[in-house]
Amino acid sequence: MPETSTSLTRRLRGRTAGLFAAGTVLALAAPVMATPAHAAPDPVSVLKYTAKERKAALAYWTPARIKAVGKSVDLGPTGPKAKPYRGTPLKTVGRLFFVNANGADTWCSATAVKSANKSAVMTAAHCVRRGSSPYNTNTDMVFVPGYHKGKQPHGTFAVRAAATPRTWQNDSVNDIAALTVDLDKKSRELTDVVGSQDIAFNRPVGGPVTALGYPATNPQRGEELLLCSGTAKKEHGTQVIPCSLSGGASGGPWLAGLNTTTGKGTLISVNSALDTLPPTKMYGEILGTTAKKVYDRAQRA
């Protein structure tokens, strides 16, 4: 979604300005190389993390640090449209921890999806890098599926690559990202451990949707998976549902046909932006051709 003057106020982030915890280092992406005149620009931008960086990320996110980041911000009371998820535990949905471009510890939400490499995770582009700013990227990124009140029942997966639309990097358009994660400590692929959600592209907007995430509202403060349910409608070139999820729920899935007994649904978008604070609406991108290219890059990495 274009970063217009109105959408700036809706942009959903793991943190809001002025609420960052003490930071570490400012992250810079590698310089963008010039594209030969005869070649079309690559529509997908990919950040890669070295083996050394991934090992450091796993060491960085200790249980104590995770606990501290949740306590470091309070976005106010959880709104009336956000409810605790009470079905079969969703092993596929979890918290995505990272150090943002300001050097602050923070988090988003993310989801394991079906993929050729069994290692793809969907989230929002603004959970990977700042829009319209090629050099402001996030570091020390790890995915904790099934996170619940300090427990990490399925382990922690370091992110080795993060794909976003080039349009997000340059113009804050298309707030969708696909991550590729490492094997776990037992050399298992992500979806062999937690399963996966189906994912759909070019799906008509409409029908009932469940949006999920780990917002920084109280009393949960990112420790518990919350949800909103509603009928998706088109608005401002995106899709929207009534919702009170707030910062920290960014990147969490929109699941169509969610069966709370099996924990299965189809991912049709991710939490992207809010109408206001406190929120009454959640916006998500319509997953089209660009989103499919981002996903394909991650599932083949």
Percent of the chain with pLDDT over 70: 87
Maximum distance among all Cα pairs of the chain, rounded to whole angstroms: 55
Residues 238/244/248/249 CA torsion (nearest 10 deg) = -50
Q: Which of 2-16, 53-67, 121-135, 253-267 has the lowest mean pLDDT?
A: 2-16
**pLDDT tier at 134, thresholds 50, 70, 90:** confident
* Burial profile 210-238: b = 16 or more Cβ within 10 angstroms, e = fewer: bbbbbbbbeebbbbebbbbbbebeeeeeb
Domain with 34, as residue range(s), is 5-299
Q: Which residue did the predictor score with more confidence, 10 or 6?
A: 10
- For residue 12, pLDDT over 90 is answered with no
Measured CA to CA, the distance from residue 101 to residue 27 in angstroms comes to: 5
Any idea which residue has 């009336």 for tokens? Answer: 80
The one-letter amino acid code at 171 reads D
Encoded tokens for 262: 């099996």
Residue 75, CB-side half-sphere exposure with 13 Å CA sphere: 27
pLDDT value of position 301: 87
At residue 22, the pLDDT reads: 29
Mean pLDDT for the stretch of residues 48-73: 97
Q: Read off the pLDDT of each residue in 137-141 and give the average, rounded to a whole number.
A: 97
Give per-residue pLDDT as tens, 90-118: 999 999 999 999 999 999 999 999 999 99
Three-state DSSP class for residue 94: strand
At residue 38, the pLDDT reads 55
Burial of 245 (C-beta count, 10 Å sphere; 0-12/13-18/19+): buried
Q: What is the mean pLDDT of residues 199-210?
A: 97
pLDDT of residue 54: 98
Spatial CA neighbour of 267 closest among 110, 36, 58: 110
Q: Tell me if the bond preceding 2 is cis, omega within 30° of 0.
A: no
How confident is the model at residue 6, as a pLDDT?
30
The CA-CA-CA angle for residues 285, 286, 287, to 5°, reads 100
Q: Is the peptide bond before 253 cis (omega within 30 degrees of 0)?
A: no
Q: Confidence class of residue 241 from pLDDT cuts 50, 70 and 90?
A: very high
CATH of the domain at 136: 2.40.10.10
**101 vs 141: CA distance, rounded Å:** 12
Q: How far apart are CA 245 and CA 80, in angstroms?
A: 9
Q: What is the pTM of this model?
A: 0.88
Round the average pLDDT of the chain to a whole number and report it.
88
Render 42-59 in DSSP notation, one character per residue. Answer: PSEEEEE--HHHHHHHHH
In DSSP terms, which residues pair with 254 in a beta bridge?
A: 211, 269
User: 7: pLDDT confidence band, cut at 50, 70 and 90?
Assistant: very low
pLDDT reported for residue 10: 41
Domain count, the chain: 1
Question: How much is the average pLDDT of 258-267?
Answer: 97
